[in-house]
Structure 1
Amino acid sequence: MTTQNSATEADRALKAKHRAMWAQGDYPSLAAEVIPGLGAVLVEACGVRSGQRVLDVGAGSGNAAIPAALAGAEVVASDLTPELFEAGRRVAGQQGVELSWQEADAEALPFGDAEFDTVLSCVGVMFAPHHQRAADELVRVCRPGGTIGLLSWTPQGFIGRMFATMKPYAPPPPPGAQPPPLWGDEDHVRALLGDRVTDVRAERRTVRVDRFETPEAFRDYFKERYGPTISVYKSIAGDSGRTAALDRDLVDLARDGDPGPGGVGGLREWEYLLFTARRAG
């Protein structure tokens, strides 16, 4: 019993840390300014339509949930970090749609079995630390024959490489936690979902990002607004040498593959995996 209680307390502490990480900075503005169209890509791939009940897991400020509502679906936007909802409610109001916003842990969703026609997540559920738990929940709340749709950064794409760049500077992950970009690996996602899904479609695509004129502009923007980057810098704040080294490494990452004067190489094209499937049964 003591071991189980300790594990539960450790999990609560980890989730509190994740919530705080995403609440810092300004992820809603980053999502709106850098990747505004990704949610709509996922909604279209899932075939969301009027009359469906849709759950967005790790919804953030609603990049996928709002397009789903615009398609006529009844939408629940869920996220571990409800601090992100205010911006989403504002955008939804401006676009004239209503949806529900609910605080929820992707690894323990507060919804009934087979409650939704479509369960989707746009660069959201990939940040749940325990991948199998999260995958099990995606399947559980989707009705048989319903659609599960995921859009995740790939390990070899720009954001996956950014996480690899930051890893040496970050505190070691807790036992059992897995790297977010693994959700961008088709084989990994297939293994997580197993034979509980059919009609799998997986495609690696890129989104063009024209927000940053220089590698330094990218680094400074993410240092200010992106929770995971902010957290890594906070963890080394007392070491000026390591902070300067991370500064250099992020600039080098953005400069890698520079196509010429004024170009920033891979910073222009961010690869993601678009994965859809139907729940079997």
Structure 2
Amino acid sequence: MLETPALLAHTSDLDLVIRHVLAGLGHGIHAGRERGAGVEFSEYRAYAPGDEWRRVDWKLLARADRYYVREAERDSHVAVWLWLDATASMAERSHDMPGIDKLWYARTMLACMAAIAQRQGDAFGLIVCTGGRAEFTPASRGPRQLRRVLAALSKARPEGVLPDADALKSCLHFARAQSLVFAASDFLDWPSPLSEALMRLRGMRHDVRLMSLRTQAEVDASFRAGSGYRDPEAGAGLHRLQGADREAYRAALAAHFAQVSTDCRQRDFPYYEARIEQAPAAALRGWLQLASARRP
């Protein structure tokens, strides 16, 4: 049975990964849409005493010889936007789980959010920041939209840097209507054009929720002594982490993410930190539970 990120990463079938991660997950993204005598058809269900006769589908009765009620929903008017950081730093791999990197994990989290949004009947869309540009999949509803979003997530590759602040500011056209934004990134670049865009959205009263991804090696500085690394986005030279550097590294990283957390708290962002070695279902549950503790 697929249980760990490393095993899940061995399949290229994103649908299979979603089904595994969401198995038994009872949380939704938000309160969703109201069932009842609404204006948009949702599904049929068997007639129950007390249902209004005007909601019985008489044509279906003639075919099936059973009473069915047309269930409808009132649109919540909330669009769900999934925001993926697919810049070069998201290629960072786990030192403990072969085949797992930050981009795979972020893609999996957002794919599950897309599946939940589709189940709830919400409109949802996708923004991918990669190679200095923002790629959009416009918001829509239904199974076909889920296929479009999963295809866009599947083809995302870690490349280049974030779009600049002006480019991201100009592309916030989707924010005219009330939106719920889920953003997944390592947030090693903070403040950044991405953080500025997210703060702008929050200032416009949109509901913004962040997931910050790190590897276990980043968290506890468990790199091998003398390991070399190069910033994939800044293009700087080769750096080596010696034993004496570990405490300074830990302190700098702790200060950085403390600032991220403080900024998010001040702007009322639910902010969740995850390690890419975590079981995806546990991380998704934690993100949803943290987000459900507040309202925009």
Larger Rg belongs to? 2
TM-score range, shorter chain: 0.3 to 0.5
TM-score (norm. length: structure 1): 0.42
TM-score (norm. length: structure 2): 0.40
Which structure has more helix as a fraction of its residues? 1
